[in-house]
Structure 1
Amino acid sequence: MDGAKVLAEETSNRAAGRDVTGEVIRSVAAMTGRTPESITGGTRFHQDLDFDSTNVLELLMRLEADFDIEFDPDTFGSGTFETVDSLSARVRQVLGG
C-alpha cells in the first residue's frame, strides 16, 4: 500500500469517533475554571471568556498535547477562530477528519 495513503488513513482514523467539540470544551473549562456545561459551541473566546493572545496560545498548546497534533503557526492569525465550534472545526481539519 502507498505510504501516503496509509498516513492519510491513519490521520483520518484519529478524528473518527472522537467528540472533538467536547474535548475542546473540556480543555477550555480546565483553563478557565468554568464547568464544561457552561461552555457551548457558540462560546466566543474574546467576548465571552476574555481570552487574550496569551490565553489563545496556551489553549493551542494544550490542544496540541491533548490531540497529539501540531498547528501550523502561519495559519493562526488574528480572527482565525472566534468560537469553540470554529476552533473545533480547525482541530478536525488538522486531525484529517
Structure 2
Amino acid sequence: MPTIKDVCRHLRSKAAGPFWVTIDLFFDGPDNFAKYSESPALQPDRIAALYGTDARLVKRFSVASLNVVKISYPRTSPQGGMIERDMHCGQQYVRLLGVEL
C-alpha cells in the first residue's frame, strides 16, 4: 500500500487562525490525485482519530485543478496558550506521512 509521502510531492501544515490547523496535501500529479484523493484514510473520521478531534468539525476540500486536498480541524488548545508546543502548526503534517492510502 502506498503512503501519503509516496504520492504527494509536498505536504504542509499551518495555523489557520488561533483555533484551527490546516494541512495541504499536494499530490504529485492528476493520476495520483484522482486515485487517492478520496481515500478512506483522508476522510474526516480518520483525520479526527489521528489528531484527537471531533470528526464533525473536520473540514475537507479537494481542489482538482491544483491536485490538492486541504484538511482543516480545530486545535486542541488556542494558539499561544500555556501548553502550546507548535505555535504555527508547522509540524502537524508529519503524522500523515506514513498513513497508508
TM superposition score normalised by structure 1:
0.35
Structure of greater Rg: 1
TM superposition score normalised by structure 2:
0.34
Structure 1 or 2: more strand by fraction: 2
